[in-house]
Each structure stands twice: as structure tokens, then as C-alpha cells.
């Protein structure tokens, strides 16, 4: 019987260190997000080896308020994905991908009540990744190369937890325009998307 165990750690506290209690002109923002997921599907009749998936992503944000309640900045992102024992025994293989990227953003804050802010962030970003496959024989082959360009809108709420620390809750990519390319040996696939991927 297939068993699924998932362990997920989300640090979308998006801890933002603001140099002033108010988001005034000249304030500096240092923040980030971290995500980790570990899933174990156990064994199945077709696959006598336990299949596991590890997924992690880290984003670092740096910004500066060029006018009151408006922050301009950059994001840097690293993502790692690993899946073991794909396919059916005895022809099993592992898949691993690493992605790197970054973007620029503008974030507008609107004070609500004391220590609470509503904000919206518009970001243009680019992410590029490469996948490799490793087989039981020890041989490795190159998988597809992926590149994604995206324009996304993200709303959220910020709370002034300490004098120079804000904790944020966001709804990632409530609206986005995305252009992606998948390239393998001898072929290339391009895809354009527009949507409201609520999650």
C-alpha cells in the first residue's frame, strides 16, 4: 500500500528588518523567505524502492524606501528539487534540479491601525534551472534546462513586531504573467501564461 508522509517547513514570516519604526524615506529593508518540503511515498507494487521528494527554496530581499511607505529593491532566489527512485523497478533513476534567479520589486505600504500595514508588491523576476538524471548504474544524463520570466503582483499584511522588525503574511503571485522555456537536446518548448494562481 502506498504511504505518503510529508514534512513541510515554511518560514514565510518574510522577516523584514526596517531601519526605522515608520517606513520613511531612507528606511532600509532586509528580508527573505524560506521553504522546505520532504515527502516520502513509501513502496508500491510497481516500485519496490521508497520514492522521496525534497523541495527547498530560499529568497533574500534587499530594499530601500525612496519615499515614505514606498520601497524599491531586489530579490535573489535559490531553489533545489530532488526526487528519488522514479519509474519502475529495476529501471529506476533520480532527478535533481538547481535553479538560480533574481528580480526587482516595488512595494507600496498603507498604514491600517497601529503597527499594521497593508502592502502590495509588483515584481519582475527571472529564474533559470538545470535538471540532471542519475541511474542505478551510476551513469548521469542532462535533463531539460528551464528559464522563467515573470511579472507578479503580491498583496500582504505587515505587523510591526519590534522597533526594527516586521512580520509579513503574503498571498504569493495573486496575479501573474509568465513566459517559460524548456530546452532539451534538439528541441525547445516555449509557453506563455497569464492567470490568477491563488494558493
pLDDT tops 60 at residue 86: yes
pLDDT computed for residue 108 by the predictor: 93
Contact 163, 17 (CB under 8 A): no
Entry field: residues in the chain: 199
Q: Say what the pTM is.
A: 0.75
How many angstroms separate the CA atoms of 85 and 146, rounded?
22
Query: What is the tens place of the pLDDT at every residue in 37-50?
Result: 888 877 766 666 67
Grid coordinates given for 115: 503597527
How many angstroms separate the CA atoms of 76 and 96, rounded?
21
Contact 62, 77 (CB under 8 A): no
Q: Which residues pair with 103 in a beta bridge?
A: 75, 125
What average pLDDT does range 136-150 have in this prediction? 85
What average pLDDT does range 176-184 have in this prediction? 75
Region of poorest pLDDT, from 63-67, 139-143, 181-185:
181-185
Amino acid at each position: 500500500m502506498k504511504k505518503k508522509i510529508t514534512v513541510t517547513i515554511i518560514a514565510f514570516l518574510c522577516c523584514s528588518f526596517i531601519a526605522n519604526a515608520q517606513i520613511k524615506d531612507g528606511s532600509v529593508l532586509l528580508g527573505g523567505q524560506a521553504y522546505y518540503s520532504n515527502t516520502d511515498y513509501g513502496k508500491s507494487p510497481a516500485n519496490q524502492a521508497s520514492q522521496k521528494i525534497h523541495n527547498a527554496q530560499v529568497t533574500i530581499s534587499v530594499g530601500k524606501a525612496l519615499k515614505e511607505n514606498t520601497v524599491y529593491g531586489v530579490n535573489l532566489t535559490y531553489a533545489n528539487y530532488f526526487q528519488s527512485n522514479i519509474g519502475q523497478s529495476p529501471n529506476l533513476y533520480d532527478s535533481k534540479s538547481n535553479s538560480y534567479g533574481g528580480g526587482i520589486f516595488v512595494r507600496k505600504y498603507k498604514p491600517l491601525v497601529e503597527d499594521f500595514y497593508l502592502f502590495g508588491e509588483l515584481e519582475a523576476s527571472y529564474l533559470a534551472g538545470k535538471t540532471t538524471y542519475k541511474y542505478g548504474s551510476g551513469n548521469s544524463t542532462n535533463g531539460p534546462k528551464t528559464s522563467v520570466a515573470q511579472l507578479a503582483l503580491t498583496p500582504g499584511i505587515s505587523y510591526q513586531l519590534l522597533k526594527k522588525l516586521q512580520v509579513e503574511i503574503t498571498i504569493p503571485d495573486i496575479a501573474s504573467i509568465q513566459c517559460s522555456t524548456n530546452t532539451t537536446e534538439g528541441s525547445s518548448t516555449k509557453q506563455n501564461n497569464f492567470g490568477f494562481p491563488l494558493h
